[in-house]
Amino acid sequence: MKKILLYATVFAALLVSSSCSDSFITNQPSTDLPGNKEYTEAMIDQSMIGSYLPLQWFDLWMPLPLIAEAMGDDIRVGGGSAEDQLATHDISRYRGSASTHSDAIWSACYEGIFHTNIVINRAAEVKMDKDKIDRLIAEAYALRTFYYYQVWRFYGNIPFFENNPNDIVSEWKNIKQYKADEMYEFLIRDINKALEGDHLPLRTDAKEYGRFSRAAAQMLKAHIVLTQADQSKYAEVVTDMKTIIESPLYDLEPNFASMWESAGEWGKESIFEINYTDNGATRGWGDDGKKPGGSVFPTMIGINGFNDNSGIPSVYSAGWGFMPMEKHLYDLYEDADQRKNGGILSFDYYVDNINPKATYDDSRWDNTGYFNKKYLPRKGENSLALGSTDLNYRNNHRIYRLADTYLIAAELILRTGGDQGTAETYLNKVRGRAYQYTGTYQKPATLDNILAERRLEFSGEGHRFFDLLRFGKATDISKEMQIGWKELEGGKRERIYGTFKYTSDKRYFPIPKSEIDRSLGALTQNEGY
């Protein structure tokens, strides 16, 4: 049963030892929290860790990379049909409706906001070490901002509350829905609170991977500012980015492809990841999908009907064929660029260079033959699951990494009239890794070159649409996607395509009708829906 907005069960989970690839929220949550009664240190710890649990829900069934990329021009939705994950297809075609739009992101974020509010408002009341209190509150501010940021960037005009309502029915009228520009001010205020002082470590220790660090909070602030295109804060962001770049705690991984393997999680390039684990994971269908554990995203984007046909155990598992990549994106890479076949799997390339016997089912919706290699399901990466193996891959979602830091800094140095040479150095650090520092990989630092580099570096990671918005190029999006089948003689068929263009009136998603209904009239629908 779906929970009503804001009237959330308070989740808690015990902090347990984990490997770098495992989540620190691996236990079944408890609901035994005291409401308005006195909190203990253990309860605040549980609330903090429970605040992270809704991050894992982003993949059910609207994974952040897929949803964000669906708005751009480099992927198609795929799946079994245009009704398979209908909301995502509607997003990709810029035609969504309130009645068909999923509430997955909305409900996950507000669930998380509920939990972080407990820590922010109650931690200072508890008798425990002052440094610990300060860190927990700073961490909760960062995480709350992250949740609000997701709802804000997709929906724009959203409700904001700092204190949890005791009764959803009677208190809805006191929860105000803010315009997108108003919400931006709240986001900046709260992320600055997270960054006040030195309460957050620049990088978390291995046993705490998955918790917000100072660098992660700085990256979140950068993306908030970039989404708003707030020029008044560009210089602040450049300073933050340089702090991360100059730290010995972070560095680019030498091999682009390897950072997407299990062994590459939380490497020196990683700034923030959403943790998943298959170890004892019990996620299943229905409400069981909200148990802690693994990710369904690899299965969703896996190669449909994949078979190596070689007698040798395959590297990859089959999946459901969502998120096929565009051929025009693959063709943008030069052959010497390791990101070409390190981040995208071209099935033709795979057959020609790796296994000539391999086959897959190319009859899925909007098939292109190109797949998001970064998150493809690999054999054995769900082997420890106790629940559905489809839903419990151990693959972490990479949210922020150092390559992004370099390119944000380069872009904003140019936009603020800073040192051209520094911007060029940053741009070519990313390009150098891609080309293994050989050949004529260097380019001058221009805004066009930086936008092009972001497209190549972050393909399939969810940045493209928001980059196009910031560069004033979103209205240039025009894409051809499947709209049906034409039946031919002999039982054969061919795809029918239609053209879809982004228009500025579809900047934000429709607020799900389910949430408007639950709000008892407090929420107003976004314009255009």
pLDDT at 309: 86
Residue 140: give its domain's CATH number. 1.25.40.390
In a domain, 237, yes or no: yes
Give me the number of domains the chain comprises: 1
Task: Answer whether residue 156 is part of any domain.
Answer: yes
**Preceding amide of 61 cis, omega within 30:** yes
pLDDT of 175 reads 82
pLDDT 10s per residue in the chain (529 long)? 222 232 223 333 322 223 333 443 333 444 444 555 688 999 999 999 999 999 999 888 789 999 999 999 999 999 999 999 999 999 999 998 899 898 899 999 999 999 999 999 999 999 999 999 999 999 999 999 999 999 999 999 999 999 988 766 666 667 889 999 999 999 999 999 999 999 999 999 999 999 999 999 999 999 999 999 999 999 999 999 999 999 999 999 999 999 999 999 999 999 999 999 999 999 999 888 889 999 999 999 999 999 988 777 779 999 999 999 999 999 999 999 999 999 999 999 999 999 999 999 999 999 999 999 999 999 999 999 999 999 999 999 999 999 999 999 999 999 999 999 999 999 999 999 999 999 999 999 999 999 999 999 999 999 999 999 999 999 999 999 999 999 999 889 999 999 999 999 999 999 999 888 888 888 999 998 8
Mapping DSSP to helix (H, G, I), strand (E, B) and coil, where does residue 229 land?
Answer: coil
Model pLDDT, residue 142: 98
Per DSSP bridges, beta strands 478-487 and 493-501 are antiparallel
Residue 59: the pLDDT is: 86
Predicted confidence at residue 378, as pLDDT, reads 95
Whether residue 191 lies inside any domain: the answer is yes
Residue 296 lies in a domain: no
Residue 356 lies in a domain: no
Quote the CA–CA distance of 304 and 317 in Å, as a whole number. 9
pTM, two decimal places: 0.93
Look up the domain containing 161 and give its range.
41-280+398-475+504-518
What pLDDT does 169 receive? 62
Which amino acid appears at position 183 of this protein?
Answer: M
Query: Is 499 domain-assigned?
Result: no
Q: Is residue 321 part of a domain?
A: no
Distance of alpha carbon 389 from alpha carbon 393, whole angstroms: 7
Enter the DSSP assignment of 146: H
For residue 170, is it within any domain?
yes
Distances (CA, A) of 102 to 107, 117, 346, 390: 9, 25, 31, 21
Q: Which of 40, 20, 4, 129 is nearest to 12 (CA)?
A: 40
Q: What is the dihedral of CA 83, 84, 87, 88, to 10 degrees?
A: -120
